[in-house]
Amino acid sequence: MIDTGTPHSARVWNYWLGGKDNYEVDRQVGEQVMAAYPDIVHIARQSRAFLVRAVRFLTVEAGIDQFLDLGTGLPTADNTHEVAQRAIPHARIVYVDNDPMVLVHARALLTSTPEGRAAYIDADVRDVDRILEAAAATLDFSRPIAVMMLGILGNIDDYEEARTIVRRLMAAVPSGSYLVVNDGTKDAKAEVAQAAADMRAQAGDPYRLSTPEQIAAYFEGLQLVEPGVVRTAQWRPDPHQLNPQVLDVHCGVARKP
């Protein structure tokens, strides 16, 4: 059952991206955060653009054809499977989220190419064993997999728990796999960003901001792809995406040796 009285990160994020798959409670939280922290809309859009660039790199340059995308959010333009299958039609993608609305849309919109496959797991990111077991029905864990964690790790209240989840996921995939992380941070405008995060928490949609150093620590033991852990707009930008805005969101892509 969809809880229309409590905001959900996937739907608030959908509102910031200009989508229509949200409820009044999500829009209220979205508007409150935007009023206090206008950068959040730019962060949402830069994060979506990074997904496209990262998946394009993984398919075209790294040859990855399997993706485990945790914290999928509501389908919009250029979802992971669409970007991946444009480059590799037989690519397989497994999405994971725990919002019933995402599940409804996933069934209708996350259609795959005939050669590939797109599947959906209704699970909390903390339930690693269940996710891995279900994902094995679609993905071949003897071959490299890209583990995508965009905007999801901040939903885990405890940072050490988030690191443990990342380590467990990466331990389950073979050498040659990749980790992709993008998350909100607090450095350039730390006080304003934290105030907006506090507002979200009070409204029932908590999101923990990290430091850039904490984002970098997720990649411990992995080989970072250039340019390393950077502000999201600075990760291999397309010429038309060059943006001088300094936003509190960092990302990175790394390979498991």
Task: Express each pLDDT in 181-204 by its tens digit.
Answer: 999 998 867 677 777 677 666 666
The pLDDT value recorded for residue 199 is 67
Rounded CA-CA distance 46/110 in Å is 22
Provide the CA 187 distance to its chain's centre, in angstroms.
20
Tokens 């054809």 — which residue?
65
**Inter-helix orientation angle 24-36/190-202, to 10°:** 160
> CA angle 55-61-66, nearest 5°?
50
Top-confidence residue, 5 or 48: 48
Task: Express each pLDDT in 133-142 by its tens digit.
Answer: 999 999 999 9
Top-confidence residue, 178 or 76: 178
Rounded CA-CA distance 190/248 in Å is 8
Query: Where are the alpha helices (H) located in the chain, listed in sequence order?
Result: 9-16, 24-36, 39-56, 80-87, 100-109, 128-135, 159-172, 190-202, 212-217
User: Is pLDDT above 90 for 71?
Assistant: no
- pLDDT (average), residues 92-114: 77
Most confident of 75-89, 103-117, 137-151: 137-151
